[in-house]
Amino acid sequence: MIVSMIVAYGNNWEIGLNNQMLWHISEDFKNFKNITSGHHLLMGRKTFESIGKPLPNRTSIVLSKSGFEHEGVYTFEDIQEALNFAREKGEEELFIIGGSTIYKTLFPYVDKMYLSEVDFSGVADALLEPIDFSTWDLAQEKDYDAIIEDGDVKSPAWKFKVWVKKD
């Protein structure tokens, strides 16, 4: 089973504020849906709570030590148990979707990264640990321009990159 992480982050590794995303990029949401559809999503309790419900056509796995329960969600305290659960269900590519503690804790397990690098600098209370790309190969890259409406940035510019761990 491939373990992948998918995350959008700003210029200074920002990923969230007050358990909310820092921007709204429709194309990035569509990308997320297309990539993760039909797969298992592994996340922390706070990330699940920010989403509010299991996402359609995906299996939600929450890592939590607080005894968290929610209908339609599989909760585990142990990382190996969560990974084994997905593996036993026949998952081919598991997606880690946040938050910051989960990304940091599970990074050693990651084989592939789907990264949305957003042209954003601002206040955040959730940050991604800086990534050393020297042990990764860039497999895909696409640039997106900012969307400006009435002089306001509706959607910031961003780059989508897929990285695969070097053998």
Give residue-wise pLDDT tens across range 90-144.
999 999 999 999 999 999 999 999 999 999 999 999 999 999 999 999 999 999 9
Q: Report the first-to-last Cα separation within the chain, whole angstroms.
A: 16
pLDDT at residue 146 above 90?
Answer: yes
Judging by DSSP bridges, how do beta strands 73-76 and 59-63 pair with one another? Answer: parallel
Percent above pLDDT 70 for the chain: 100
Mean pLDDT of 34-38: 98
State pTM to two decimals: 0.96
Q: What is the pLDDT of residue 67?
A: 87
State the residue range of the domain holding 149. 2-165
Of 4, 7, 3, 19, give the one whose Cα is nearest residue 130: 7
pLDDT in tens, 55-69: 999 999 999 998 899
User: What's the CATH code of the domain at 53?
Assistant: 3.40.430.10
Q: What is the pLDDT of residue 56?
A: 96
pLDDT at residue 47 above 90?
Answer: yes
How far is Cα of residue 148 from the mean position of the Cα atoms in its chain?
A: 26
CB 44 within 8 A of CB 63: yes
| Lookup: tokens for 90 | 């026949």
| Lookup: tokens for 161 | 């990159």
Reduce the DSSP state of residue 156 to 3 states and report it.
coil
Q: What is the pLDDT of residue 16?
A: 96
Count of domains observed in the chain: 1
CB 33 within 8 A of CB 51: no
Of 165, 30, 32, give the one whose Cα is nearest residue 98: 32
CB 113 within 8 A of CB 98: no
Long-range contacts of the stretch 74-79 (C-beta < 8 A, 24+): 79/105, 79/106, 79/109
Phi, psi of 67 (to 5 degrees): 75, 25
pLDDT at residue 162 above 90?
Answer: yes
pLDDT in tens, 75-88: 999 999 999 999 99
Phi, psi of 122 (to 5 degrees): -175, -175
Of 128, 121, 120, 113, give the one whose Cα is nearest residue 160: 113
Mean pLDDT of 18-45: 96
Of 116, 113, 158, 160, give the one whose Cα is nearest residue 132: 113
Mean pLDDT of 25-40: 97
pLDDT at residue 167 above 90?
Answer: no
